[in-house]
Structure 1
């Protein structure tokens, strides 16, 4: 039976059962149930497993090394779902203790399966929102990686932090302004649009874009910003017309 076919009480009981079983197996180094949870076809079982790992890590200092060791073992499994879930578990830990898990994201960026790589993007988003300094510093080293997909993934991954604090990621985005790969460029334009429509963010973004040298890319980014203010009109701080007027006045 799928996770959401269960009643609320049954789901809560299952989540507690998963947490208890993971903790016991981490302690004994017998990982049969851990592997079962991490490889489940049910997304919500896998989510319960990686959330449990984070909770166990922070609730039990003596188990921290064993949790990290277990996740390192799981990161080597052939099943991409296991690797994906291990990366997501590392992401839960990285919200507070990034340095201990950053190697998971170094390895995950190079994973052969897109699901594992996408897990890295998701982790960068959730970690960067609450623990930005080490995450942004880590991301910077990959901005000019020879693999265009890694550059694109990093650009995408830092987006969420930028929606509240665009000033934190605009210097990184600026480094990508002359990237010649269409997928990276398109992601860059998309991210600029996404970090510009919340309250107070447009001014910060336009101030930064005034200093960028690639005026062709900036033109596309400004068009995206205006379009985003229409697409997200129920959530944006300004109307599309107000955004146009602001850009006309303040973009030099």
Structure 2
């Protein structure tokens, strides 16, 4: 039976049991329970496990070195679910302390399995939102990597920070405006749309787009921004018409 098919009471008991088992593993220098939970077929079990590791890291400083050591080991396992969950656990740590897990993120970015690479992108999103300076510096290193998928994944990974602080990621996004790969440019356009519809974000995005050189990318981005204001109308600060009128006035009439 899956985690969320259990009753709330049973789920709470399961989480408490997992937290105790993981704490005991870390305290005793073992990894048996961690391996069991990190390799579980149920996504929610694995998520509960990596959240537990992150919480222990934040609250039990005496165990931080042990946690980093065990993640080093688990990130090398043949089972991709274990590697994926190790990266997600490292991402929880990177929210408050990026330096010790930076090399794990770099290793995961080049993992052979897509689920591990996706864990890196998800981790960049959550780390970049809370701990942007070192995480965005890390992302910047890979913006012009020879592998187009690395460029695309990094572009996608910095999106979440941009939803609240578009000014932090727009200079990085601009570095991709002349990317030769359509898949990367399409992701770039998608991210520009996603960082445009929250309160006070549209003005920042439009002002920055006025400095871009690739007119085709900018046109597609503007179309996406207008479309996003309809697709996410229940969450947008402006209506689609207001967004279109703003773009007409502040981009086309003053560009």
Shorter-normalised TM range: over 0.9
Q: Compute the displacement of 1:235 (Å).
A: 1.1
Name the CA distance, whole Å, in 2 between partners of 1:56 and 1:84: 19
2:105 aligned with 1:102: no
Large movers: runs of 4+ above 6 Å: none
**Per-residue deviation, 1:60:** 1.1
1:25 — aligned with what?
25
**CA distance in 1: counterparts of 2:43 and 2:34, whole angstroms:** 14
Q: In the alignment, what sits opposite 1:66?
A: 66
* Equivalent residue, structure 1, for 2:55: 55
Offset at 1:216? 1.4
- Structure 1 distance, partners of 2:91, 2:132, is 13
Q: Which runs of 5+ in 1 are unaligned?
A: none
How many Å apart are 1:29 and its aligned residue? 2.7
Structure 2 unaligned runs (5+)?
A: none
Rounded to whole Å, the distance in 2 between the matches of 1:238 and 1:58 is 39
Report the CA distance between 1:5 and its aligned residue: 2.1
Paired with 1:29 and 1:113, the residues of 2 have a C-alpha distance of 28
1:219 matched residue in structure 2: 219
Whole-angstrom distance in 2 between the partners of 1:30 and 1:221: 50
Instruction: Note the 1:125-144 alignment, pairs <5 A.
Output: 125-144=125-144
Give the superposed CA RMSD: 0.8
- Where 1:205 maps in the other structure, the secondary structure is helix
Q: Helix, strand or coil for the counterpart of 2:17? A: helix
* Correspondence 1:1-252 to 2 at 5 A: 1-251=1-251, 252=255
Aligned-partner Cα distance in 2 for 1:78–1:63:
25
Separation (CA, whole Å) in 1 of partners of 2:187 and 2:96: 28
TM-score by length of 1: 0.98
Give the superposition deviation at 1:21: 0.8
Query: In the aligned structure 2, how far is the partner of 1:155 from the partner of 1:95?
Result: 19
| Secondary structure in structure 1 of the residue aligned to 2:179 | coil
Matched pairs, number: 252
In structure 2, distance between residues paired with 1:220 and 1:62: 51
Distance 1:19 1:71 in 2: 16
In 1, the alpha carbon distance for the partners of 2:209 and 2:42 equals: 43
Deviations 1:41-66 (A, max 9, x none): 01110001000001111111111000
CA deviations 1:136-185 (Å, max 9, x no partner) are 11110010011100000000000011011100000000000000101100
